[in-house]
Structure formats: structure tokens, C-alpha cells
């Protein structure tokens, strides 16, 4: 299963990098590649990788942290996609996405680490 997840991650990264190269060079198809790559990253690779990590961990009480990690990635990557594609609402999405990891993910991670330390 891990090899399939790694392969999916590699293919997703290749699609995103190709989309960036196409976007920089103003070649046709850049938008499709970026949308496909971002959505496969957020909705295929990250859930599978986080699920694999959750099931592989010794303690299974960190489900909330895994969900918060995914939501944080969703917010940040979609805001970046909106900005790169020049879609309406990109500025608002970035204003929400930039502090999101610090205000949502970091406190959840610190609380989880403090609980697991004891």
C-alpha cells in the first residue's frame, strides 16, 4: 500500500510541477494541469497518506490531529490555486489561509504533543 501511495504522490507532484511550468510559459493546458494536480493532492494523496499514517501509528487517538492536518492543507492549497489561477476571491482566500496553520493546526499539534508526552 505504501508503494502505491508514494507512486500517487510522485504522479501528483509531476502534474503540479508540469502545471507550474506550463503556467509560467503561458502554454495551453496549464489551468487543467494545476486543477488536476491540486485536487489529486488534496483529495487523493493527502487523505490516503494521512490514513496510512494514522493506521500505522501505535496509538489511534490522534484522529482529530489528522483531520485538522488535512483541513489545513485543503485551505492553504486551494487558496494558492485560486491565486495562481486569478480566480475571484483569491485575496480573501489567502487572508484566511495564511494564518490558518498558526491559528488552527499549531495549537492542535501542541496540545496533542503535550497529551502524548505524559
pTM check: above 0.85: yes
10-29 per-position pLDDT tens digit? 999 999 999 999 999 999 99
Q: Cell for 30?
A: 496549464
Phi-psi region at 57: left, alpha or beta (left = phi > 0; alpha = psi -120 to 50):
beta
80-104 pLDDT tens trace? 999 999 999 999 999 999 999 999 9
Q: In sequence order, what E strands does 2-117 have?
A: none
CA distance 79 to 61: 30
Query: Is the confidence at residue 59, as pLDDT, over 80?
Result: no
Query: Nearest-CA neighbor of 108 among 56, 79, 71, 60?
Result: 71
Amino acid at each position: 500500500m505504501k508503494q502505491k501511495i508514494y507512486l500517487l504522490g510522485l504522479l501528483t507532484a509531476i502534474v503540479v510541477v508540469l502545471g507550474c511550468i506550463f503556467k509560467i510559459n503561458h502554454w495551453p493546458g496549464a489551468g487543467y494541469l494545476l486543477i488536476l494536480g491540486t485536487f489529486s493532492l488534496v483529495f487523493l494523496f493527502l487523505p490516503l497518506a494521512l490514513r496510512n499514517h494514522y493506521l500505522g501509528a501505535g496509538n489511534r487517538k490522534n484522529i482529530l490531529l489528522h483531520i485538522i492536518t488535512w483541513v489545513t492543507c485543503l485551505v492553504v492549497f486551494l487558496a494558492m490555486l485560486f491565486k495562481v489561477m486569478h480566480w475571484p476571491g483569491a485575496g480573501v482566500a489567502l487572508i484566511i489561509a495564511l494564518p490558518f496553520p498558526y491559528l488552527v493546526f499549531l495549537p492542535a499539534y501542541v496540545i496533542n504533543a503535550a497529551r502524548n508526552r505524559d
